[in-house]
Amino acid sequence: MAFPYLHDLIRAATGLDVPLPLPTFGLCVVVAVAAAIYVARLELLRLYRAGRLGDRFPVSDRPRRGSDVAKPSGNDSRAEVTSRLTNFVLDFAVLVVLAGFIGARIASIVEVPREFVADPWGMIFSRQGFNFLGGLVLGVMAGAWYARRRGIPIRVACDAFAPSLMLAYALGRIGCQLSGDGDWGIAANMALKPGWLPTWLWAQTYTHNIAGVVIPPPGVYPTPIYETLLCLVLFAALWAVRRHPFRTGWLFALYLLLCGLERLAIEPIRINPRAHFLGIVATQAEILAAALVILGAAGLVALSRRSESAPTARSSAPT
């Protein structure tokens, strides 16, 4: 069962017919962005207190007694710096979300060029068919540009936002599941279902889905649920190791690796169209995910050497 709008979900849960035609996918995106902003702000504040944000956000070299939290220097009060960081996170999030949606739409169009030629406006303004990896690429590019423009070291910003990106993806997939936007899996093989696993967690028909597709019983794999659960675990892992002793950028490299591996793991049971690329038959998502794995692995190798010295509060050169 799918619930494209909030009133569908309320009706199914309570039996009440409340006129709330709010799209569940959009609501989940809002929740995902809000959660990501909160987590990113927490991490940026920690990095500020460690003196790793450059001269735009300076701190003194003398920490408080009994604490590793440094005092602001110059004329910047702690409240002022916190406000500036909050504004940076909000502006950063808006830019990345907009760029991400554009990138996701472009990537989804590239996957089905014939459908785009047949109905270009319908594809551009469709409420379904967003490719996350395409959104990730353009979103990261936009975020890196904005961080550099604001004087925050790019690799520091990437590390700060890595856990929140994984969390946002996990929560966003809930919207895909609720609305039934077409991001489900292939026909489920019921012969392989473990006896202890509930049927709804193995196969669903997504009745009344927003894509308008009729799925015959027993249904398809509910891949959005799998991705939500897996990415929540990966978010917890990234959050747990965010204080790593390795060089700046290591955490983001780990995020890229985990993001790519997660998508490669789920893609074999998804319905994305396959294409021929240099003699390889794969989906566009598999190709992009493989590139993320390679970039992430290379980054981990290059940055796994422990930092030679602790970062200073006055270091302002982008890293």
Q: How many domains does the chain have?
A: 1
In a domain? residue 17: yes
**Stretch among 29-33, 65-69, 106-110, 250-254 having the lowest mean pLDDT:** 65-69
Instruction: Tell me what pLDDT residue 231 has.
Output: 97
The pLDDT confidence band at residue 310, using thresholds 50, 70 and 90, is very low
Q: What percent of the chain has pLDDT over 70?
A: 79
Strand-pair partners of 35 = none
pTM: 0.80
In a domain? residue 301: no
In a domain? residue 288: no
Q: Which domain holds residue 88?
A: 6-56+76-239
At residue 71, φ and ψ (nearest 5 deg) are: -85, 150
Helix (H/G/I), strand (E/B), else coil: 26: helix
pLDDT, average across residues 291-303: 94
Which residues lie closer than 8 Å to 72 by C-beta, 6 or more apart? 58, 59, 60, 78, 80, 81
For 210-266, the pLDDT digits (tens) are 888 999 999 999 999 999 999 999 999 999 999 988 889 999 999 999 999 999 999
Q: Which tops the pLDDT comparison, 97 or 309?
A: 97
- Please say if the pLDDT value at position 153 is more than 60: yes
In a domain? residue 109: yes
In a domain? residue 182: yes
Q: What percent of the chain has pLDDT over 90?
A: 43
The pLDDT confidence band at residue 274, using thresholds 50, 70 and 90, is confident
Instruction: Tell me what pLDDT residue 127 has.
Output: 56
In a domain? residue 25: yes
Which residues lie closer than 8 Å to 171 by C-beta, 6 or more apart? 28, 31, 32, 35, 228
For 162-218, the pLDDT digits (tens) are 999 999 999 999 999 999 988 899 999 999 999 999 999 999 999 999 888 999 999
Displacement of CA 278 from its chain's centroid (Å): 29
In a domain? residue 134: yes
Characterize the bridge pairing of strands 70-72 and 59-63: antiparallel
- Please say if the pLDDT value at position 104 is more than 80: no
Q: Which tops the pLDDT comparison, 83 or 198?
A: 198
For 132-143, the pLDDT digits (tens) are 667 777 888 888
Measured CA to CA, the distance from residue 183 to residue 181 in angstroms comes to 6
The pLDDT confidence band at residue 70, using thresholds 50, 70 and 90, is very low
In a domain? residue 103: yes
Q: Do the Cβ atoms of 274 and 216 come closer than 8 Å?
A: no
